[in-house]
Structure 1
C-alpha cells in the first residue's frame, strides 16, 4: 500500500481535489438523491469490493487496479465530505440572521 500511495500520489491528490469540487457543488444542488434500497445495494457492493481487496481474491494486475480504484474512491469521498462541510460553513456564515 505505501508503494501504491507514493507512486500514484498525483492521481490520489487529483481524486481528492475532484471530490472537494463535487462536494462544494453538491450542497447547492438539491436533487432527490438515491433511494434507500439503491443506497443499501451500493453499500453492499463497496463492502464486497473492500473485502475482496483485503482478502487478495483478485490477483495480479486486476487486483492492483482494484486496490488503486478503492484508494482513489476513498480519497474522492474524503474530498467530497470536506468540500460539502466547508461549503455549508461558508454559506451558513454569509446568510443574514433570521
Structure 2
C-alpha cells in the first residue's frame, strides 16, 4: 500500500481535492435520499470489494486496480466529508454573525 501511495500520491491528492470541491459546492439534500434496499445493496457491494481486496483473491493487475480504485474512492469520500463539514461550519458561523 505504501508503494501505491508513493507512486500515485498526485492522483490521490487530486481525488482528495476533487472530493473537497464536490463536498464544498454540493447543496444539502433535504429529500429522502436512498431507499433502504439501495443503501444495503451499495453497502454490500462495497463490503464484497473490500473483502476481495483484503483476502487478495484477485491476483495481478486486476487486484492492483481494485486496490487503487478503493484507495482513490476512500480519498474522494474523505475529501467530500471534509469539504461539506467546512462549508457547514462557515455557513453556520456566518448565520450566527447576522
TM-score, normalised to structure 2, is 0.91
Shift of 1:30: 2.5
Partner of 2:45: 45
Partner of 1:73: 73
CA–CA distance in 1 between the matches of 2:91 and 2:25? 12
CA–CA distance in 2 between the matches of 1:61 and 1:8? 15
Partner of 2:29: 30
Structure 1: tracts of 5 or more residues without a match: none
Aligned residues: 97
Structure 2: tracts of 5 or more residues without a match: none
Shift of 1:15: 0.4
Q: What is the Cα-based RMSD across aligned positions, in Å?
A: 1.6
Q: List aligned pairs for 1:1-98, cutoff 5 A.
A: 1-26=1-26, 28-30=27-29, 32=31, 33-96=33-96
TM-score, normalised to structure 1, is 0.91
Deviates more, 1:35-44 or 1:8-17: 35-44
